[in-house]
Structure 1
């Protein structure tokens, strides 16, 4: 077992990209860094504002992930202290829980010297999350298109997507459970077929790095956008203005409450500035894909 100090860096992620519901993820260049060192008791310290309500002991999500993986291996993880810095807003549709779980998996893999493969780490994280979209992007980086049913998993990994994006972040957080509660129990066959077709073309466009086409498909979702859009101030107007500013497309980031706008590579900073003027309710953040996933330093 490893008892020396090390760090793990994990990117944020956005999921779904419209009709790629629970299957498409994209790593973003906002990061959580966890410094790990030996300790007599489990302890977690957050160095940034906004994390005051998170547990700081054995009930912390990162620690729970580490200790559960050790238990599954019939092992006990070396007790550690975690010091965390993070650019990733909590509860804002940027995969903060997946980032924490990914960090826990990487730390357990390092502490216990498990030598888990990338696919094994993604499968393990998907079981914790219940789906593979955010966790696969957080662990692998780039864009990921995943199938996961609890037993089997396959992932297509696009390492270096060539696009830029803007995230519109509202002041209020939103629990994923509350957002999922807005979704219907069933869709008609025609609705599911139409959104599935959009998801298929979206996946192919991402694989070809055709983000103009991907942006069009992002806006054809009927799996969740019609039921969640009411949560967003000025949703339709934001989409209209994004089109006026030559964005490829706009959709909900994950389960919300943030919005994700995809643009031509290099145009993200200018669009963020423009949207911040028109929509001051939102914090507008220019982002790029994170090519690297979780990394141990």
Structure 2
């Protein structure tokens, strides 16, 4: 892509797992990380968002580090940039903030370094950094993604002809992924593995055939991670009970948590959001829809009147 000196990178947030699709299933949602980028003589990063104020303002910023390292893989010494970062993705809440930053860094390297990366190459680089393809794949491709990462290869399908709404119930406390991973068992019996994988398989089939009731049932029957993580989430059972009484067909942790996602059919999300806001005033309840576009890089002129 031949870009001028000013461009915009936009990357959607994501939710992973959807219950049993552990480390393999992701969904892009309509919260965004955006970077206004201008080529410069030195690295400068700024943000008007209070939540992002504490991050470095030079090339030690995580996004810059990802960009510099990605370019270096291709023998390119990346030209510095002046970057204005904006984001409405909550940090450390299970909505893929770090995955969005990784994709943003890779897109930055590709655009400034004119590397010409394919989507598959971007996905592999991002997966190698993140360790699994669910969040990064969703942020890159948009829609519902299902992927497998083995022998240094990533295979992934992105599904865009699917539609439902979600309400994210976001607690005020953060939960770091490393802490949430620490409670997981290191191995499963064959019987448990069969049960867990069949539940995940059936979830995919239920989503693709719009059998929402069955999809919700499979979300709840996850054996891979939710039984171990739910006790870490304050009020999970109460949120689940209230959401289902308000018409949600399924409830699941968003990634490692602590955000709880309540799934509902298209057109019913606003009512669910309002009900959850009234019941859980100490948390944030936010209606989300699926982002079908994924990451994008566009010249700034298109955004300036």
Structure 1 position 278 matched with structure 2 position 279: yes
CA contact (8 A) 1:163 1:263 kept: yes
Q: 2:71, 2:110 within 8 Å by CA — same for their partners in 1?
A: no
Tell me the distance in 2 between the aligned counterparts of 1:150 and 1:260: 32
Q: Secondary structure at the match of 2:191?
A: helix
The equivalent of 1:55 in structure 2 is 56
Q: CA RMSD in A?
A: 1.4
Specify the alignment match of 2:28 in structure 1: 27
Q: Which residue of 1 aligns with 2:81?
A: 80
Provide structure 1 residue ranges, at least 5 long, that are not aligned to the other structure. none
- 2:173 alignment partner in structure 1: 172
**TM-score normalised by L of structure 2:** 0.94
Residue 278 to residue 140, structure 1, CA distance change in 2 (3 Å) = same
- Per-residue CA shift, 1:223-268, capped at 9, x if unaligned? 1111111122221122122221121100100011100111001111
Q: Distance in 2 between matches of 1:82 and 1:215?
A: 41
Retained in 2: the 8 A contact 1:2–1:112?
no
Query: What SS does structure 2 have at the residue aligned with 1:240?
Result: helix
Q: 2:150 matched to which residue of 1?
A: 149
- Provide the C-alpha distance between the structure 1 equivalents of 2:14 and 2:151, rounded to a whole number of angstroms: 21
Structure 1 CA distance for aligned equivalents of residues 265 and 149 of structure 2: 30
Kindly tell me: are residues 232 and 272 of structure 1, through their superposed partners in 2, closer, same or farther at Cα, counting changes over 3 Å? same
Q: TM-score, normalised by structure 1?
A: 0.96
SS in 1 for 2:114: coil
- Three-state SS of the structure 2 residue aligned to 1:148 is strand
Instruction: Indicate if the aligned counterparts of 2:123 and 2:140 stay in contact, CA closer than 8 A.
Output: yes
CA displacement 1:202-227 (0-9 Å, x = unmatched):
12223334433322211111111111
Residues paired across the two proteins, number: 297
Matches within 5 A, 1:247-286: 247-286=248-287
Q: Which runs of 5+ in 2 are unaligned?
A: 299-305
Name the structure 2 match of 1:131.
132
- Look up the match of 1:223: 224
Taking a change above 3 Å as real, the CA distance of residues 56 and 206 of structure 1, as seen in their structure-2 partners, is farther
